[in-house]
Amino acid sequence: MTNSEIAAVFEQVADLLDFQGSNPFRVRAYRNAARTIRELSRSVTDILDDPQQSLTDIEGIGKDLAEKIATLVSTGTLPLLEELLAQVPESVLAMLRVPGLGPKRAAQLYHELKVTTLDELRAACQAHKVQALKGFGPKIEAAILQGLSIADQAQRRILWAEADEHVQEIAAHLRKSLAVEQLQAAGSYRRRKDTVGDLDFLVVSPSPEKVMDQFAHYSGVAEVLARGSTKMSVRLSTGLQVDLRIVPEESFGAALQYFTGSKEHNIVLRNRAKAKGLKINEYGVFRGEQMIAGRTEEEVYGALDLPCFPPELREARQEFHWADAGQLPELIELDDIRGDLHLHTTWTDGMDTLEQMAAAAQQRGWQYIAVTDHSRRVTMANGLDPARLRQQWAEIDQLSKRLKGITILKGVEVDILERGGLDLPDDVLAEADWVLASVHYGQNQTREQITRRVIDALRNPYVSALAHPTGRMLLRREPYQIDLEAVMKVAAEEGKMLELNAHPMRLDLDDLACAAAKALGVQIVISTDAHATSGFEAMRYGVQQARRGGLTKDDVANTRSWPQLKKLLGRKR
């Protein structure tokens, strides 16, 4: 089982317990375990197979949880989950994916209206039965109807990070066959889209039957949907469809280009080929009946006098214009990152201590981190008031004397209050090295209200950057209403930065917003929002998103040293 699959089981347990009104501390324990497992840099299966390591060595995983994880991995089932599912239909959990419909309201719908599926929920809303329930009303009913599209999408797509786990496991399984000569995942996964609907694998092999036999024996396969002489489709136990194609070696590059897409990119490419008297398809580039390219992608694009575009740019946006002008950007790389400017510790809702986070960042080769625990408004995270924040900063000063080779910035993630203004006074913020402003509450306000709150925050002289600017949670919550263009213009005027939150469920800003910020000259800071040392792994997801937005090293603030970065802040003290 992949880490994402194990985490999903524990999230499901937490949802069911929450649905039943169980002890909040018990629910939180399972949610924290799910988050820890999902963010691990090493496979849980590998840890279980390693006699030198134990699951209980992982912060937050005690003996009971470790035993449940081992049972799940070895048997594929978890008795506790089976017990809970016997009490509540699994289909009810789909309601929890509807934004704003928490466990208590979902339970009320289940008990009072006997709603067990999304279709039944949609019908109940359309018949106005939901608004008649105590505590609901017309506005909540309308919001549920609007949110059903997100829940539907969540059933069909998965996060890129989860898709990556499947890709790595399937690829490793296929490579065990000596019949596999070349192997590459294609599609939207290769273009690094934030969510993925299915997976495509291309293989070069002299023995297609052996490769497909190997594929059929992958442990995650629940059903073989189709099998031909060179193509095979399966459905995994998670519901994800995976297609395998065996292609000739001389056509591998053409097939890789074609099946990577995007469709829009390929249409432009096909039209350009036609203008040159050529034909391009998944088999190669042809002049008449003669194949002139196809073995590699470089060869395919070269035949059309084009550079080999990074997969992340193949969306038919700016890539062809850049190529024609000889200005294809040199996209940012993970190794360009010099530090992380958004992380949490045990002072609020983090799982690792300040010293553990700093040491882990140093081991990654980063030059600096900013400790940005929550301000007091986020009560559920034990947010910091001015006194506790200054205590933490004093601890950072002491740690900085002991831990050499990394700069630890005294920061805070300060809430932008619902009524406007910031959660901490200016005299406190003035002492910080780095201040992130963020919206956590009042996300249902109007576009004008939220935009005004954010713009006022950016105009505060002590705010450095806006964190997760649209508040979206992929497959769970739509962005709140905000005039991002107006926000970006103010950020440009004030010399403030916008965060690209690298958490795989956020990736906020999205790729289009990153491109828009670049066009306005607004600096992006890619941060992990890590709540544990394992959370630093998310940096690569943020870099991938930045690449999709066409960002270079120069467009991203934390590719610079701290002294260089400090000069960019443009504070008006």
- Secondary structure class of 547 (helix, strand, coil): helix
The pLDDT of 217-240, averaged and rounded, is 92
The pLDDT of 152-163, averaged and rounded, is 83
Residue 545 pLDDT more than 90? Answer: yes
Quote the DSSP letter at residue 474.
Answer: T
**What is the C-alpha separation between 73 and 78, in angstroms, rounded?**
9
Tokens of 422: 């910031």
**What is the C-alpha separation between 117 and 98, in angstroms, rounded?**
11
**What is the C-alpha separation between 325 and 189, in angstroms, rounded?**
28
Predicted confidence band of residue 154 (pLDDT cuts 50, 70, 90): low
Residue 91 pLDDT more than 80? Answer: no
Output 76 or 316, whichever has higher pLDDT.
Answer: 316
Residue 503 contacts residue 528 (beta carbons within 8 Å): yes
Residue 370 contacts residue 412 (beta carbons within 8 Å): no
The pLDDT of 375-398, averaged and rounded, is 93
> Which residues, at least 6 apart from 29, have a Cβ–Cβ distance to it below 8 Å?
65
> Which residues, at least 6 apart from 71, have a Cβ–Cβ distance to it below 8 Å?
77, 78, 79
User: Could you identify the residue written with the tokens 């913020």?
Assistant: 429
Query: Mind giving me the DSSP string for 358-379?
Result: HHHHHHTT-SEEEE--BBTT-G
Residue 571 pLDDT more than 60? Answer: no
The pLDDT of 214-223, averaged and rounded, is 94
CA dihedral 508→511→512→517, nearest 10 degrees, is: 70
Report the phi/psi class of residue 118: left, alpha or beta, with left for phi > 0 and alpha for psi in -120 to 50. alpha
Task: Output the pLDDT for position 573.
Answer: 39
Residue 572 pLDDT more than 50? Answer: no
The percent of residues in the chain predicted with pLDDT above 90, rounded, is 70
Residue 199 pLDDT more than 80? Answer: yes
CA distance between the termini of the chain: 53
- Residue 201: beta bridge partners? 185, 244
Residue 425 contacts residue 412 (beta carbons within 8 Å): no
The pLDDT of 267-273, averaged and rounded, is 96
Predicted confidence band of residue 301 (pLDDT cuts 50, 70, 90): very high
Task: Output the pLDDT for position 153.
Answer: 66
* pTM (two decimals): 0.83
Residue 89 pLDDT more than 80? Answer: no
CATH superfamily of 158-246: Beta Polymerase, domain 2 (3.30.460.10)
User: Starting at the edge strand that comes first in sequence, how are the strands of the sheet with 497-501 ordered?
Assistant: 339-340, 368-371, 407-415, 434-438, 465-466, 497-501, 524-527
Tokens of 25: 């501390």
**Nearest partner of 358 among 316, 285, 410, 308, judged by Cα:** 410
Mean pLDDT of the chain: 92
Task: Output the pLDDT for position 43.
Answer: 83
Output 107 or 400, whichever has higher pLDDT.
Answer: 400
> Which residues, at least 6 apart from 162, have a Cβ–Cβ distance to it below 8 Å?
2, 4, 504
The CATH architecture of the domain made up of 263-324 is 2-Layer Sandwich (3.30)
CATH, domain range 3-155 = 1.10.150.110
CA dihedral 552→555→560→564, nearest 10 degrees, is: 150
Tokens of 388: 């506790």
CATH superfamily of 334-568: Metal-dependent hydrolases (3.20.20.140)
The pLDDT of 120-145, averaged and rounded, is 89
**What is the C-alpha separation between 187 and 311, in angstroms, rounded?**
9
Amino acid in position 418 = E
Domain ranges in the chain are 3-155, 158-246, 263-324, 334-568
Predicted confidence band of residue 11 (pLDDT cuts 50, 70, 90): confident
Interhelix angle 138-156/118-126, rounded to 10 degrees, is 150
Output 117 or 278, whichever has higher pLDDT.
Answer: 278
